[in-house]
Structure 1
Amino acid sequence: MTVYGFSPSGNCHKVRLLLEQLGRDYRWVEKRSDDGSTRTPEMLAKNPNGKVPFIELDDGRVLTESNAILHWLAEGTSFLPDDPWLRAQALSWMFFEQYSHEPYIAVARFICGWTPIDSPRRADLPRLRERGHQALAVMERHLSSQSWFSGDRYGIADIALFAYTCVADHGGIALERYPAIRDWLSRIERTPGFVPMSAPDPAARALIDQSA
């Protein structure tokens, strides 16, 4: 399969991490999401939404949306619970990630690293950081009594939530007050086949350092 993605993106890293931990063969095609590369006619013909990640199979089928890709890849593996209730719980946390977590933590990171210091979007940072901390508080409460978000073992809900939590500080959302989350991040980093997310390019990193 071919994966189209932007390496510093958490949503794209989710897919890469699971593929690596599954030991699957794939071809990675780098497409920056900040310079129009995902919205060329060729790319829009594959994914009209103009975003990455998405995967393309050898027969031409395309699957978009990071968490849908995780679910499809994990089917029949230990990364997705067999028990219907635990499977639904894992999906619940993946919906939480896309609705209550990623829109704040990931967007704060994007604004800090990929917009100019004088961008009017930076006025949104206090609200985004507040909502990001609200999401982290929900996660901290869960992790105070449970080791994982995918039932009784590591799985795709953990991968989905890991991607942007591990770089929350890039958006000025520090993790010092969340010991259970920090322990959970460390557990994930020790899982077999783990690969870290690619660092932002130097220009983005410099902006993050000024903003966060």
Structure 2
Amino acid sequence: MRQTHILNSAVMPKAGCYNLKAISANDFFLIIQKQRQEDPEGFFTMSWIGYEQNAQIIADKTGWRPPICRSVTEIEHGDRLLIMRLKYRPEEGAKGKPVQPHDFEYFEGFYTERVPVPSYIDILNLDIYEAEAQRYINELAQLTGAGTVLDALNYTRRLMDEIEDGQDERWRELHEDYTGLLRMHFDPEGYRKESNSYL
């Protein structure tokens, strides 16, 4: 079972990739209840809640009061994060004042040490020239340090956009160039093997 961390702020204590999604307050508390049912001894549940008010809200909603912890947050690859974050910045001297569940926004997320990169084949299974897929490929290439390969991808894509009707052969050539660049970056071993086979 992966470790689940309950926090009162969206901290990033380690370098890596954080994938967060907003959830409802009800879902936040239901996830904690389910986690406690699956892990009643708390071996895989870690509270980093630093305020009594947060702990009391969780206790009122789930029946379990997380222990207060003001240590530096520690997480590992694959861990889940459950975050309740105050929607506003407290005024000076306001810490300790009463808060309600609706004063918070809630998130569920996961931490990985590296960006999860799909295989080259999975990328090709996308509609790679569709706008959303293009954004995804460009963002993924940036996150994985594509550098000059990304520049070449974007240049090749611009050339493809300039092709006029009837230039099918030219489009196929550029398509091969584009997919070759994708393979060069996302499947370098396969790219080298294929290149060597033509020698």
Q: TM-score range by the shorter chain?
A: under 0.3
Name whichever structure is richer in helix by fraction: 1
Name whichever structure is richer in strand by fraction: 2
Greater radius of gyration (CA)? 2
TM-score (norm 1): 0.21
